[in-house]
Copies of this chain bind each other. A is one copy, B any other.
Amino acid sequence: MRTSKSPVNPALILIDIQQGFDVLEWWGTGRNNADAEDNARLLLEHWRQKSWAVFHVKHNSVKPGSPLAPSHPGNAIKEEVAPLPGEPVIGKTVNSAFIGTDLKKRLDDAGITTVVIAGLVTPHCVSTTARMAGNYGYNTYVASDATATFPSATLDGKTIPAATVHEVSLATINNEFATVMTTQRLLEIFSLLSLDRELQVAGWR
């Protein structure tokens, strides 16, 4: 049976991959995973090739001085994943891409039930968006190596290295809110799902 609507209709949600995250005077040094943007780009290229839904999310910071503020050039999305004309860009002012935005309505109106999340930074906007996506009932994936973060401070002022913050942040959402896996594994799985659908459409399955 041919249908116009694919059962494989995953959305890629790219969170806050903005130039302002390179302003280390604001964020500090010690970011992990310099490959995050390139991995996000691999996902984006795959999604575009498949004509699947892509949502660019951009943080319009309201913090005075933030390089993510709309008045700062750092508000712009990085070149690696720059939106093409027609791709939706959703602005937000808090961590969650679901609060103060129409992201949920857009996903639901499009019949999207699966989301893949990547972007910056792991413990804040990525984690919070993935938590809400999972709790809203979306089949939620997070690309472990297409996200990154900076060191955090414990309550008593010790520094937690970015790699530890990243690892614990992903461990605490995996299997509870989302399925966390590498970009390569996500691309493999979504290619297989896509192939399965093509075989169905061709009448082979």
State the copy count for this chain: 2
Instruction: Report if A155 contacts B (CB, 8 A).
Output: yes
Alpha-carbon separation in the docked complex, A14 to B162 (Å): 31
Nearest CB in chain B: distance from A179 CB, A = 10
Interface 1/0s, chain A 116-150, versus B by CB < 8 A? 00000001100110011011100000001000000
Contact code string A169-203 (vs B, CB < 8 Å = 1, else 0): 11110101100110000000000000000000000
Judged by a CB distance under 8 angstroms, whether A1 is at the interface is no
What is the interface size of chain A, counting residues whose CB is below 8 A from a CB of the partner?
32
Q: Contacts A123-B172, A155-B174: A96 and B165 contacting too (C-beta < 8 A)? A: no
Residue A84 lies at the interface, judged by CB distance under 8 Å to chain B:
no
Cβ < 8 Å to B, chain A residues 63-107 = 94-96, 99
B-contacting residues of A (Cβ < 8 Å)? 94-96, 99, 123-124, 127-128, 131-132, 134-136, 144, 152-155, 160, 164-165, 167-172, 174, 176-177, 180-181
